Amino acid sequence: MMFPLLSTGVMSSIFFGVNGNVMRLIQDYRSNRTENDDVDIRFCCDSVNVNNKYWHFDVFFAACVSGFSYTLINIPIEVVKTMLQASTSSINNNANKRSMITTKPMKLMIKLYKTNGIRSLYRGGTLLMLRDVPSMGVYMLTYEHLCSTLKKSLHTGNLMEIKIDPMPKYIQIISGGVAGVVSWILVLPFDVIKSKIIADSLTEPLYKGAYDCVKKTYKSSGTAGFFRGFWLVCIRAFPVNCISFFVYETLLEKCVIK
């Protein structure tokens, strides 16, 4: 229980930290601080004179870069977490695989490393990159765009008032929840295949690779096999990301650099 709880907090910090700094670097590149005070805007609706031509691309790109950093560190954590979860599920009925599983995350990491070196800790890494890097871009882009759209549509003042007024918390909460659901819907098939490959036996693997796993999954379950747990994922994603963005934005307000 503590392993996923602690790792999630650390990885979220890495993602949001890298994302904020990359976005700031992009704004510095596109603007001159001495001539444009819009360089530190958070949302496109916060400015009346910034050139928004590349704004949404910048948001997407910054999130993809942070998603890459996040995933690179998260792959071993995801491997261990998936195998720990598989140890108590019905899929884990193979004696070789059962002998590999331990309830201690660090012991499992050591066993995996001894079995096949660093490669065993990065099983399914390509799928995780395909899952997380673009989905993180969609995640932040959906959040930013929805926040800006809702603020503009619900605000009755002029553009300058929209810029000055802070983003309402309820808009951030709703937008965060929707962004989480959208990003998970897009990557659920990747997540299903990733979980099967990571949980597969190291000594007697059922799947030869990602493509083989896709073929066998489709053959056994059809299209529905790639969206296993769809509603559970949606029900979980909305409140989790509502809270995540609420906490993130609240803490960010306390740490604004003047």
- pLDDT tens-digit profile of 157-210? 555 555 556 788 999 999 999 999 999 999 899 888 888 887 777 777 888 888
Please name the residues in contact with 81: beta carbons below 8 A apart, sequence gap of 6 or more.
3, 4, 7, 105
Q: Cα separation of 5 and 223, whole Å? A: 32
Confidence class of residue 71 from pLDDT cuts 50, 70 and 90?
very high
Provide the whole-model pTM.
0.79
User: How deeply is 65 buried, as exposed, middle or buried, from its count of CB atoms within 10 A (0-12, 13-18, 19+)?
Assistant: buried
> How confident is the prediction for the chain on average, in pLDDT?
80
Residue labelled with tokens 């882009």: 141
Tokens of 138: 């969609």
Sequence-distant contacts of 248-256: CB under 8 A, at least 24 apart: 248/12, 248/16, 249/167, 249/169, 249/172, 250/169, 252/20
Q: Which residue has the higher pLDDT, 195 or 258?
A: 195
User: 253: buried, middle or exposed (CB in 10 Å: 19+, 13-18, 0-12)?
Assistant: exposed
Residue 34: pLDDT above 50?
no
Distance separating alpha carbons of residues 14 and 66, to the nearest angstrom: 8
Q: Give 139's contacts (C-beta < 8 A, 6+ positions apart).
A: 63, 179, 180, 182, 183
Q: Is the pLDDT of residue 49 over 90?
A: no
Query: How many Cβ atoms sit within 10 Å of the Cβ of residue 188?
Result: 19
CATH homologous superfamily of domain 2-254?
Answer: Mitochondrial carrier domain (1.50.40.10)
Percent with pLDDT over 70 in the chain: 76
CA distance 205 to 196: 10
Looking at per-residue pLDDT, the higher value among 19 and 200 belongs to 19
